[in-house]
Amino acid sequence: MSSRDKWAAEDVPDQTGRVAVITGSNTGIGYHTAEILAGHGALVVLAVRDLEKGNAAAQRIYRASPQARVEVQELDLSSLASVRQAAEALGAAHPRIDLLINNAGVMYTPKQRTVDGFEMQFGVNHLGHFALTGLLLPRMLRVKRSRVVTVSSMAHRIMAAIHFDDLQWEHGYNRIAAYGQSKLANLMFTYELQRRLAAKRRSTIAVAAHPGTAHTELARHLPPFLRPADRLLTPLVVQSAAMGALPTVRAATDPEVTGGQYYGPSGIGEQRGYPKLVDASKQAHDVELQQRLWAVSEELTGITFPV
């Protein structure tokens, strides 16, 4: 057992009997989160866009933990129709869901639109997860101490604002600022969801996490001018995806976690290290902006929450 200041996978309590749905779990942070939870007894559903890659990830988990229980569910967060179909399938297969981890994401993409016409980063990272959570929440509310864990990023501080006058970046586009907006939205969503859950005296909680600077496939769209710095800094500050998954895993499983908390690495600048409780930006805690974003998100997705 590791000490509390070096919380690691071996600190995860027994997850037997829990059902965990993890988006984007065929690779990177999501995969390692799934591997740890499955290794500790949870039934893990890999909710992924590419079924072939999802099945391959499931086989890797089985090799590491032969007794693991893993399922694969097709989910394309860039399509609200796919989100609805996945939620319906998940609800039919699992009347109760203990844990939803909103992990999938895209970063620094060239200007693109989702199937529904949303800017890709905002549409996938925030709106897709907003819709999925709203559709699955009825299955979670019946489970005592169920959790919604949403993965944000240090980027919620970088050029980040919720551009209510142009959420879809129709007038110009900055891929870094657009990513920052989506990750700020993840935190605002978590805080507003937690406030609504608490107001209804629900035991379900909403928590956020970020991986620090971790080696994943997200960086494939890194702007060219940042690539030399990335190559230089990677050996110095970037940690493995397995370490980057630990804040998410702690947020999902530590019995001491409470709603509305935010977990990230403990090292300098929260770039690497074991997970600890961290602070979000002042802007992320703006209640008026959180509520405004919630209302807009309901309007754009057509999803209302049972809280």
- 186-213: per-residue pLDDT in tens? 999 999 999 999 999 999 999 999 999 9
| Cα separation, 162 vs 283, whole angstroms | 10
pTM of the predicted model, to two decimals? Answer: 0.93
For 169-185, what is the mean pLDDT?
Answer: 97
| Cα separation, 220 vs 218, whole angstroms | 6
| Cα separation, 178 vs 191, whole angstroms | 20
* Residue 31 falls in the annotated catalytic set: no
CA proximity to 270, closest of 219, 209, 226? 209
Burial 204-215 (b: 16+ CB within 10 A, else e): bbbbbbbbbbbb
- Two tokens, residue 195: 């406030």
- 34-93: per-residue pLDDT in tens? 999 999 999 999 999 999 999 999 999 999 999 999 999 999 999 999 999 999 999 999
- Cα 251 to its chain centre, rounded Å, is 11
Contact 269, 238 (CB under 8 A): no
Helix, coil or strand: residue 102: strand
In order of start, what are the domains of the chain with their CATH numbers?
14-301 (3.40.50.720)
CA proximity to 133, closest of 146, 122, 120? 146
Biggest alpha carbon–alpha carbon distance for the chain: 53
**Helix 28-39 × helix 51-64 angle, to 10°:** 40
Please report which confidence band the pLDDT of residue 266 belongs to, taking 50, 70 and 90 as the band edges: very high
Contact 102, 133 (CB under 8 A): yes
- 113-156: per-residue pLDDT in tens? 999 999 999 999 999 999 999 999 999 999 999 999 999 999 99
28 sits in the region (left: phi over 0; alpha: psi -120 to 50; else beta) called left
- 213-240: per-residue pLDDT in tens? 997 655 555 556 454 544 445 554 689 9
| Cα separation, 78 vs 230, whole angstroms | 28
Residue 2 has pLDDT above 50, yes or no: no
CA proximity to 155, closest of 132, 178, 138? 178
Terminal alpha carbon distance of the chain = 38
Contact 252, 149 (CB under 8 A): yes
Residues near 165 by Cβ (< 8 Å), separated by ≥ 6? none
For 244-266, what is the mean pLDDT?
Answer: 98
Helix, coil or strand: residue 79: coil
Q: Of these residues, 31, 108, 179, 262, which one is catalytic? A: 179
Question: What pLDDT is attached to residue 23?
Answer: 98
